[in-house]
Structure 1
Amino acid sequence: MTGLVAIVPVRGGSKGLPGKNTRLLAGKPLYRHALDQGLALGARCILTTDIPDLLATDHGPGVTALARPAELARDDTPMDPVLDHAMRSFDGTATVVLLQATSPLRAPDDIRAAITLHAGGAFDLVMTVTETSSTILKYGMMRDGAFQPVAGADYCFMNRQALPPVYRPNGAVYVFDADWFRRNGRLATDRIGAVEMPAARAQDIDTEEDFRRAEATLGAGT
């Protein structure tokens, strides 16, 4: 397989909001928003899931439902082995776009911007980010009574207004080469590019309140 592949992970278990991935959001199941975004790119979509109903459903042309083993569908399962399993289902070079179902408000331009930046070749991985509070630069970890800053020690003593902007990964879009991931075995790398997304589109659905807010946003056409 060559070209563009969109991987959409959809797990059945959710403690914060049971059944959220298949719950209707603005008229269609939450996971379907990610699939449709992938298909709109012209990508071949791989739906990796442990939900029997989704495995038995015909999702239409361009979508393959891949049965995910139970050991890869636990609450504490990291993304790396899920991706590894999904990419064993196809051979060849491809640009992979990871679209998590819980980020339905990302825009097509967010995805395209990440793909374009990755295509430039300067980064192994490109992900979307959102600006967050700079005060995290003042934080640190405690080890044997010693305070170890997460960034430079100077930041710990700066006024909040003097701190530089800080961005957090928002989980909406990740782009990387399949061959690179197969060699690297994980998403972590020293060469990460970033595309900024506004907070309004970076919402991750974890709770009932998140779900209702996303539905209101989609209903308003924003």
Structure 2
Amino acid sequence: MKPKILAIIPARGGSKGVPRKNIRDLAGKPLIAWTIEEAKKSKYINRLILTSEDDEIIEVARKYGCEVPFKRPIELAQDDTAGIEPVLHAIKQCPGYDYVVLLQPTSPLRTVEDIDGCIETLLASGSHFCVSVTEPNQSPYWMYTLENDKMIPLMPQEKLVTRRQELAKCYALNGAVYVGKVSAILSEQSFLTEETTAFIMPKDKSFDIDTELDMVVCEQLLKTKRNIL
């Protein structure tokens, strides 16, 4: 039997790094619209909803065809609200689904191929969770903490590797796609466990907008992609 899949877009109004970023114009449409439009193309997602406490964001999401079945309680839209809390709340408001796909609107370069690819990876693996990752620009093997202005390797090595080709491959969360089995999410209250499977995405689709510079870079990449197509 084909599993029932609920996709959730979390978008609160209180962004600090880029004010009102979820509805800021990005290459001709609100940031959140890029995620809504790609999610609606999925061949696996049965229902796409927004969770937000912000009336303006809700209005924009509905304009682009995203369902908003409830308004998020303000206490779940604070700076210190854990990211899983709005997901748990949405699951309770919309019961009856086997899997949840979390799609943050700050990943405008993520496409339906990435969304469906992550879902397919999870279903094929038999795991309860799958999240998207990418290779970081800088390897953690070349990162340091500071103690009294002295450099302390973040990941101590017997011998310092000086050639990138010799470094162990590392991956970082890119924030684009999180998929989990509903029962496991309710139990673990996280998408990240020792059993979580990775779905690897390329760097050029892995930008997570957190600063004004991120907005500029993504705008240029989206316009370039549009010209190529």
Q: What's the TM-score bracket when you normalise by the shorter of the two chains?
A: 0.7 to 0.9
1:14 aligns to what?
Answer: 15
2:184 aligns to what?
Answer: 180
1:194 aligns to what?
Answer: 198
Which of 159, 166, 170 aligns to 1:157? It is 159
C-alpha separation in 1, matches of 2:143 and 2:67: 44
More strand by share: 1
1:210 aligns to what?
Answer: 214
- The reply to whether residue 46 of structure 1 matches residue 75 of structure 2 is no
Deviation at 1:134, TM superposition (A): 6.2
* Aligned partner letter, 2:134: T
C-alpha separation in 1, matches of 2:98 and 2:222: 31
- Cα-to-partner distance string for 1:144-164 (whole Å, 9 max, x where unaligned): xxxx9866x5x3633143320
User: Partner of 2:93: helix, strand, or coil?
Assistant: coil
C-alpha separation in 2, matches of 1:106 and 1:56: 23
C-alpha separation in 2, matches of 1:211 and 1:192: 30
Deviation at 1:196, TM superposition (A): 1.3
C-alpha separation in 2, matches of 1:190 and 1:95: 19
Q: Which runs of 5+ in 1 are unaligned?
A: 143-147
* Aligned partner letter, 1:158: L
Deviation at 1:140, TM superposition (A): 7.6
TM-score, scaled relative to structure 1: 0.85
**Residues 116-127 of structure 1: pairs in structure 2 closer than 5 A:** 116-127=120-131
Deviation at 1:64, TM superposition (A): 2.4
Deviation at 1:60, TM superposition (A): 6.3
C-alpha separation in 2, matches of 1:124 and 1:212: 36
Q: How many residues align?
A: 216
2:95 aligns to what?
Answer: 91
* Aligned partner letter, 2:56: D
TM-score, scaled relative to structure 2: 0.83
**Residues 18-33 of structure 1: pairs in structure 2 closer than 5 A:** 18-33=19-34
* Aligned partner letter, 2:23: T
After the TM superposition, which of the residue ranges 131-140 and 193-202 deviates more from structure 2?
A: 131-140
Q: Which runs of 5+ in 2 are unaligned?
A: 147-151
Which of 40, 53, 77 aligns to 1:73? It is 77
- Cα-to-partner distance string for 1:62-101 (whole Å, 9 max, x where unaligned): 6224311222112222211111111111112322111100
CA contact (8 A) 1:49 1:55 kept: yes
CA contact (8 A) 2:134 2:203 kept: yes
Cα 1:56–1:221, aligned 2, differ >3 Å: closer, same or farther?
A: closer
* Aligned partner letter, 2:50: L
CA contact (8 A) 2:132 2:175 kept: yes
CA contact (8 A) 1:134 1:163 kept: no
**CA RMSD of the aligned region, Å?**
2.6
